[in-house]
Amino acid sequence: MVKRKFREPLEDRKGNLLFDGFSVKELAEKYDTPLYVLSEKRIRDNYNRLHSMLINNYKHVRVYYAVKANTNLTVLRILQSEGAYLDTVSPGEVFMGLSSGYTPEKILFTGTSVRNDELRFLVGTNITVNVDSQSELDRLLKIAVPPVVSVRVNPEVGAGHHSHCITAGPDSKFGLMEEDAVKAYATAKKARVERFGIHMHIGSGILEVEPYVLAVEKLLSIAKRVHEQVGVEFEFIDIGGGLGVPYNPEDKDLDLAEFSSKIVVPFKSKVKEYGLGKPFLCVEPGRYLVCDASILLTSVNTVKVTSTKKFVGVDAGFNTLVRPTMYGSYHPILVANKVAQADKETYDVVGPICESGDALAKDRQLPKVEEGDLLAVLNAGAYGFSMSSQYNSRPRAAEVMIRQGKDVLVRKREELSDLMTSQRMQSGS
Ligand SMILES: *Cc1c(COP(=O)(O)O)cnc(C)c1O
């Protein structure tokens, strides 16, 4: 018997895994696998923990949820009820935000390589555009002079869990460098834009406060220069998302007390010192709000032992959760019906996709796994479902949410017929 250390909302009930009070085995039996299970409570807790830390140190705060982490409409609604704003990166995300009940004033658009018809859509729906280039700004101003403009700056400091997820620094495609940002504000001011924001987003999965500290200093110094040279008053200063969540056993939680003392407190004093008024301090967490609020359940189909390896074949592959394949990410995995058993064997946990990169975990220590066991892949709520695909013509998984003491289906499992919906089959001759 082993006693594992669990984070909320996970628990061990006599060797069986509970998620937010529900037996995951029963959920898998009721809804089948692969299955994403979400916890309403954990989403709210994550939001409130972050929001209270910010508001306790600085009165004007906005938390923008970065929609791309998890676009489930019920997730969006829950965050809306907490007072969240949204950060979106495509017209589709704006559409999802509006459809779930957010007003346009609560939605920010931070795109890159944006089309003219997309800009027209944003102007038409009154969404604030956070421009990523002078070209985008010029094209936006040709369509209409919007009441608010924000510029995404590159503070020349990047960070993140994988090179694909570092979104600032000298080689980054994102944002404008200081000189170009000053020019962009001058262009907008000349075009009679009246209200302004400034923005950065340096990367994703950041567990250390240090890169933010440097980047926020740089962002504020750029804001000061724009304020002095161009005469811009900032309504908001957005320091982006990227707040990390521990995945590896050796990772520690992001230290929120340190975040407040090293970022929020200095932000407040610098804003005052630079005469920047009372702008909103905005943050844009995606992962932080939803990552550990969801797990992926997957059933064991096969156990295969070769001369060099032991493989556990499950029914979720990189079609269902791509992070391990795409970024080499580590996700903790539990054998949900054997959580009290000690890890005895080393396995590769592999999916049903016909590519050798299709593995949820490599060389992972687990209790002895048998066919019919149920695995729980933890921290699956961010960039899990939202990056899933129909590759190998496998319909996408279902999503169930634990809310108000009930299990509720919030996305039905796709069916075979969903594989054909947009195809227009022509005759074969
Ligand atoms: C993806 C993204 C975020 C959220 O990143 P997380 O690492 O999930 O917090 C925030 N802002 C922008 C502009 C993004 O593109």
- pLDDT tens, residue by residue, 73-103: 999 999 999 999 999 999 999 999 999 999 9
Catalytic residues: 354
Best of 201, 287, 291 to mutate for ligand 1, by most ligand atoms within 8 A of CB? 201
Q: Which two tokens stand for residue 342?
A: 């000690």
Whole-number Å distance, alpha carbon 194 to ligand 1 midpoint, is 27
User: How many angstroms separate the Cα of 315 from the Cα of each of 300, 343, 395, 400?
Assistant: 7, 22, 12, 17
- According to DSSP, the residues that pair with 408 across neighbouring strands are 401
Pocket around ligand 1: residues whose beta carbon is below 6 Å from it?
A: 66, 68-69, 87, 89, 110, 201, 204-205, 240-243, 284-288, 382
Q: pLDDT tens across 122-137, in order? A: 999 999 999 999 999 9
CA dihedral 155→159→160→164, nearest 10 degrees, is 60
In this prediction, residue 190 carries a pLDDT of 98
Whole-number Å distance, alpha carbon 423 to ligand 1 midpoint, is 32
* Domains of the chain by residue range: 10-39+291-420, 111-285
Number of helices (H) and strands (E) in the chain: give both, helices first. 12, 20
Q: Which atom of ligand 1 is nearest to the CA of 382?
A: 8
Q: pLDDT tens across 318-329, in order? A: 999 999 999 999
Whole-number Å distance, alpha carbon 200 to ligand 1 midpoint, is 10
Sites in the chain below the pLDDT cut of 70: none
In this prediction, residue 2 carries a pLDDT of 87
Contact between 294 and 38 under an 8 Å Cβ cutoff? The reply is yes
Whole-number Å distance, alpha carbon 242 to ligand 1 midpoint, is 6
In this prediction, residue 159 carries a pLDDT of 83
Angle between helices 73-82 and 91-99 (to 10 degrees): 70
Phi-psi region of 425 (alpha: psi -120 to 50; beta: other; left: phi over 0): beta
Q: Which atom of ligand 1 is nearest to the CA of 288?
A: 9
Radius of gyration of the chain (CA): 23
Contact between 93 and 73 under an 8 Å Cβ cutoff? The reply is no
DSSP tag of 374: E
DSSP tag of 233: P
Is the N-terminal amide bond of 246 cis, ω within 30° of 0?
no
Tokens 């059933």 -> residue: 299
Q: Which of 167, 160, 170, 153 is nearest to 216 (CA)?
A: 153
Q: Which of 73, 82, 69, 102 is nearest to 41 (CA)?
A: 82
Q: Which of 235, 201, 232 is nearest to 216 (CA)?
A: 201
Right CATH for 111-285 from 1.10.230.10, 3.40.50.720, 3.20.20.10, 3.30.70.580: 3.20.20.10
Best of 63, 79, 87, 219 to mutate for ligand 1, by most ligand atoms within 8 A of CB? 87
In this prediction, residue 158 carries a pLDDT of 82
Whole-number Å distance, alpha carbon 425 to ligand 1 midpoint, is 38
CATH annotation of 10-39+291-420: 2.40.37.10
Determine the Cα–Cα distance for residues 262 and 213; give it in Å rounded to an integer: 7
Q: pLDDT tens across 194-248, in order? A: 999 999 999 999 999 999 999 999 999 999 999 999 999 999 999 999 999 999 9
Q: Which atom of ligand 1 is nearest to the CA of 244?
A: 7
Determine the Cα–Cα distance for residues 9 and 38; give it in Å rounded to an integer: 10
